[in-house]
Amino acid sequence: MTRIANLSLVQLQYLIALDEYRHFIKAAESCFVTQPTLSMQIKKLEEELGVKLFDRGKQPIIPTDVGILVIEQAKKVLNETRKIENILLEYKGTVSGDLNVGIIPTVAPYLMPQLISQISKRYPDIRLNVKELMTEDIISLLQKDHIDVGIVATPLDVDGMVEKPIFYEKFCLYLNPKHPAYELDEIDSKLLLDDKLWLLSEGNCFRDQAVNLCSLRHSSSLKNTFNYESGSIETLIRIVNLEGGATVIPEWASLDLSDEDKKHIRSVKGDSVREVSLIFTRNFAKAKLSEAFFATLQSCIPIQLKRNSNKKVMALA
């Protein structure tokens, strides 16, 4: 008990940082301390526990067997400590604090302007820190407790992750007037292969869903498909205007187009939709903060998108 009683939360933070970066200087920078300070605290921690937590003979350094167990427990201790802080805030009826959010690029341009405005009006004491990231990066950062929540396309079915659907949106087609299917009001997505089909870059979940929508995985027509390395729907629209062909865009993006560009939007046959959800880990501590955030998210959703909840959700892979 004497050894454990001497441990500090700061030492545990340094321990977790060193495990993540496997490098003393990088870990120290992430904790906003000098490398000697972090090294001294890790050494002091090892002395207090009477064990070696890291094998410094390896490059990069790695935790020892007992180090792995101590690090996992340290993560639980810090998370429980955060819960105490949030219990106190909730007891005082306060909705405040930092909320670190990861959001995918095909949702951010349409949701974030309204969300930031609504949060600042409703909850001026909430400080949002937002990063546009790919889904896999959001999941990784959530699992490492580097962000609090993510806004991504679902379902993901990741162990330990909670998914709360925010909205559902249809897939829309944006066509150049010279496209063979341009005169149709509703288009079978397979007809898109009759001309150039511009898609987002690999790793973007909306690209994966567009590929599924157009049945490209098993199609011999992939030679007609162009891949542009961008996360920007707007860029793809401009390319279609200049170079011809078509692209698949989310419904919310179509609502924000100019009246002229809306003339090039066509519906896709079928009732598949994209599900966008708020995700967080099961041990997420900021309950009241996340509830306020989720309610605000839902208030930002256009009426048109709220009519899609009974449709079939498109798979991500």
Domain with CATH 1.10.10.10 in the chain: 2-89
Tell me the fold of 2-89: Arc Repressor Mutant, subunit A (1.10.10)
DSSP E strand boundaries for 35-133: 54-55, 62-63, 97-103, 126-132
Structure tokens at 231: 């996360």
- Cα(27)–Cα(254) distance, integer angstroms: 44
pLDDT score at 216: 56
Q: Residue 97: name the closest of 133, 138, 129, 130 by CA.
A: 129
Structure tokens that stand for 47 in this block: 């002395």
pLDDT score of 152 more than 90: yes
Q: Which amino acid is at 135?
A: T
- The CA distance from 105 to 233, in Å, is 9
What is the residue-averaged pLDDT of the chain? 84
Q: What does CATH list as the number for 97-317?
A: 3.40.190.290
Residue type, 100: N
pLDDT at 164: 93
**Closest CA relative to residue 274, chosen from 216, 313, 306:** 313
Euclidean distance between CA atoms 101 and 128, whole angstroms: 7
Say whether pTM exceeds 0.85.
no
d(C-alpha 19, C-alpha 42), whole Å = 11
Q: pLDDT digit string (tens) for 213-252?
A: 776 544 444 445 555 555 688 888 998 999 888 888 899 9
CB atoms within 10 A of CB 224: 15
Least confident of 130-134, 137-141, 175-179, 245-249: 245-249
Q: Where in the chain is the domain with CATH 3.40.190.290?
A: 97-317
Q: How far is CA 203 from the centre of its chain?
A: 13
Give pLDDT tens digits for 34-43: 999 999 999 9
